[in-house]
């Protein structure tokens, strides 16, 4: 029986390098595909784009904004998803205050101040103590600069307009994993524990030496967790 294809969806302002270690390892046993999130201004649009080229059946792992896209994919095409992993993310919609706060950064990006935007968006205090923050911040800044202001604006619009997905979580019947960094300052562990509780039969993996960028802060632990999840029996719960 052929192995499942895994589609990996990144956080905002990140390219495939955010999953470099996981792609390198998991691709020994699975077809691993990277799905960008900067081609649409709504989560629905991004999800539809991915569904046009993704296999008929596939596993999906999303991190940050990518997790939000993964939830939208599952909401729209649950029958095509074999399993789902949600990494450092949230099912909640932007609050009116958070949506309004994005406007200042959108304006800054559009007016040529992308460096200022990146400085605000990349917060090393959200990472775990002892993480190689200098190297990770450098990587995040480079990925953000490569994607550029237009991508940032589209992603910001998608984040502003995203729907509440808690009801979607209750419908998940596929093998599901919520993966959280213990020191995540963007999506606090308590919220991710609550998210896991909303998913029937979900497993919760807490990465002890990681914050909001677990794939970069503790790559081996994340890869091991993803491998365990990919090996879980394909049992659809009722």
Q: What angle do CA 19, 24, 29 make, to 5 degrees?
A: 115
pTM of the model: 0.95
Residue 80's Cβ-count burial label (10 Å; 0-12, 13-18, 19+) is: middle
Annotated domain spans of the chain: 1-238
CATH fold group of domain 1-238:
Rossmann fold (3.40.50)
pLDDT tens series, the chain, 238 aa: 457 999 999 999 999 999 999 999 999 999 999 999 999 999 999 999 999 999 999 999 999 999 999 999 999 999 999 999 999 999 999 999 999 999 999 999 999 999 999 999 998 899 999 768 999 999 999 999 999 999 999 999 999 999 999 999 999 999 999 999 999 999 999 999 999 999 999 999 999 999 999 999 999 999 999 999 999 888 655 5
Angstrom CA distances, 112 to 38, 40, 183, stand at 18, 21, 33
């Amino acid at each position: 029986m052929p192995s499942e294809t895994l589609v990996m969806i990144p956080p905002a302002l990140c390219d495939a390098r955010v999953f470099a270690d996981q792609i390198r390892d998991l691709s020994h046993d699975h077809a691993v595909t990277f799905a960008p999130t900067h081609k649409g201004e709504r989560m629905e649009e991004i999800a539809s784009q991915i569904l046009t080229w993704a296999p008929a059946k596939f596993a999906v792992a999303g991190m940050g904004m990518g997790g939000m896209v993964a939830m939208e994919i599952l909401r729209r095409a649950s029958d095509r998803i074999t399993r789902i992993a949600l990494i450092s993310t949230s099912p909640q919609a932007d609050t009116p205050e958070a949506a309004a706060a994005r406007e200042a950064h959108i304006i800054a990006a559009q007016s040529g101040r992308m460096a200022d935007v990146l400085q605000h968006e990349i917060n090393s205090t959200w990472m775990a103590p002892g993480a190689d923050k200098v190297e990770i911040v450098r990587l995040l800044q480079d990925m953000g600069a490569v994607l550029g202001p237009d991508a940032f604006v589209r992603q910001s619009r998608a984040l502003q307009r995203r729907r509440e997905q808690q009801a979607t979580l209750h419908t998940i019947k596929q093998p599901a994993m919520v993966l959280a960094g213990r020191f995540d300052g963007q999506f606090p562990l308590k919220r991710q524990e609550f998210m896991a509780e909303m998913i029937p039969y979900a497993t919760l993996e807490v990465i002890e030496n990681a914050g909001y960028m677990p794939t970069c802060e503790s790559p081996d632990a994340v890869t091991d967790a993803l491998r365990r999840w990919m090996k879980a029996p394909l049992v659809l719960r009722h």
